[in-house]
Amino acid sequence: GPEDAATAWTRRLRDRRNEHMAARADERLRAGAGTALLVVGAGHLPGPQGGIARLAAAGHRGEQLTRGGLGVTGPAPVPAPRP
């Protein structure tokens, strides 16, 4: 169905933030020594408007790191309850 106004506003705000963050990261990556660690919230990574896609379109190579290691996605493990 059609997107409600709050969802559309949130998506537009996130997409604009992603654009701005990726542009600043691109500038810094081009000025730096070659390897960098960029840390952003998980909501800024996926999709065609996400940070990974935007930086790839600018010619950068990278991968998403998660708690489980390189290229692993999913929630953090939940510890077993104590007796």
pLDDT in tens, the chain (83 residues): 577 888 888 888 888 998 998 899 888 888 886 677 788 887 887 888 888 888 888 888 877 776 665 544 444 555 556 66
**pTM here?**
0.64
- What was the pLDDT predicted at 69? 56
C-alpha to C-alpha distance for 21 and 19, rounded to whole angstroms: 6
Which pair of structure tokens corresponds to residue 9? 């506003």
* 30-50 pLDDT, tens digit each: 888 667 778 888 788 788 888
C-alpha to C-alpha distance for 25 and 15, rounded to whole angstroms: 15
